[in-house]
Structure 1
């Protein structure tokens, strides 16, 4: 499945033309002939919206502003309004692209493909980041930000912090943390875990003194703060 597309246009021939072509490409396509139908179809969670501007009642620009209160997917305007001001207005109200009528179906499909590819890439990049409390933890770059300020952690400190947030519902013993970060074959003892957690807490406290990130569970180990 290539994605879910919502087409909004009061001209049924145009919707049929676009819909048939996109379905041939493997897309799931929803049709709306006015703003009311379009708003009702938002619960389908479309991956992209093709939106006409000149419609009776609420026009495409107004509808786009309503959509943007709940949906962040790409919106491509398709309109006979072709002035520079029209294109600017379309982008300013939340549109991502603007194609003038009459348009090339090949161009429209290409732009749909490009926007969906960009969204997929963005979602993939967001997955590498873990958002916890006031922290952004970038697992690929090995970077941690607290309220947009970077906190510098050593490799071991970062791995411990990541282990906590990936298992935030669990109480973790020193042995578990040591085995995860240093490896089962490491030669050493778990006292180093205590020192590393002390350092992590100090760095977090300096940037965010109001938030408890790592709790001590006496006699058992540690837990990500609730």
Structure 2
């Protein structure tokens, strides 16, 4: 079955170029020219949303916020802005990755393949599939399904993005072990670590805490070990 990608971009030339590239790689491509149209096309069959940040009307940031209310489909931002604050804002609202314009098609294709591969490995299963004991890790009230993106905290299921899930699985699988930002980034994103990557990790840790900690300001599940990194418990 072909992976389905929704390309949301108000520039028709860029949208067409991305569509032609992805279709040549065997992907099924849907197109939207606005945030509102993008939201109308979101469904469980999507494997990736490519989302332009700067669009008239509902911009990409706002669109991503709405997507995250009902879906954990990966979101890859396309942005003409290269300031660190703009990239971090995209990650904070639920984006999984970003690519600054102008970009090469080879770089875009590499990021698309990485996001879809991760999503296919870790995306959630239907609710009727009951987690077997040996398929789960449970510590400190957090229960994580190892074969798909499903997590429960104190018995209630929480929705995590693919990146958040991968970070949590890394940490909870090795309690008391301290992971540096470099180790987390290279393990989860599977890309070389750069100085700015530490901020990317920090943003996702913050979002993860908001979802699983009773008091994110005083975390007890994911702790910061100053000068060293992060650990679970």
**TM-score, normalised with respect to structure 1:** 0.57
Report the structure, 1 or 2, having the larger helix content.
Answer: 1
Q: Residue 133 of structure 2 corresponds to which residue in structure 1?
A: 138
Alignment-derived partner of residue 7 in structure 1: 7
Instruction: Name the structure 2 match of 1:114.
Output: 114
Question: Any conservation in 2 of the 1:137–1:144 contact (CA below 8 Å)?
Answer: no
Aligned-pair Cα RMSD in Å? 2.7
Residue 41 (structure 2) pairs with residue 41 (structure 1): yes
1:99–1:148 CA distance, 2 compared to 1 (3 A): closer
The structural deviation recorded for 1:122 is 1.2
Corresponding residue number in structure 2 for 1:99: 99
When normalised by structure 2's length, the TM-score is 0.55
1:6 counterpart SS class: strand
SS in 2 for 1:81: coil
SS in 2 for 1:94: coil
Partner of 2:73: 73
For structure 2, the 5+ residue unaligned runs are: 144-233
Asked whether the equivalents of residues 35 and 58 of structure 2 are also in contact (C-alpha less than 8 Å), the reply is yes
User: What's the CA shift string for 1:159-202, capped at 9, x where partnerless?
Assistant: xxxxxxxxxxxxxxxxxxxxxxxxxxxxxxxxxxxxxxxxxxxx
Q: Report how many residues are paired.
A: 143
Change over 3 Å in CA distance of 1:130–1:31 after alignment to 2: closer
Of the two structures, which has the highest relative contact order with CA contacts closer than 8 Å and spacing of 6 or more? Answer: 2
SS of the residue aligned with 2:51? Answer: strand
Q: 4+ residue runs of structure 1 moved beyond 6 angstroms?
A: 143-146
Secondary structure, counterpart of 2:120 in structure 1: helix
Cα shift readout 1:112-134 (whole Å, capped 9, x = no counterpart):
101111112214xx66x9875xx
**Matches for 1:44-63 after TM superposition, within 5 Å:** 45-63=45-63
> Which structure's CA Rg is the greater one?
1
Q: How does 1:1-226 map to 2 (within 5 A)?
A: 1-43=1-43, 45-123=45-123, 137-140=132-135, 147-148=141-142
Specify every segment of 5 or more residues in structure 1 that has no aligned partner in the other structure, as ranges: 150-226
Alpha-carbon shift at residue 148 of structure 1 (Å): 3.9
C-alpha separation in 2, matches of 1:45 and 1:144? 30
Q: Distance in 1 between matches of 2:9 and 2:142?
A: 42
Aligned-partner Cα distance in 1 for 2:102–2:138: 49
The answer to whether the Cα contact below 8 Å between 1:47 and 1:116 also exists between their aligned partners in 2 is yes
Which residue in the other structure is 1:177 paired with? none
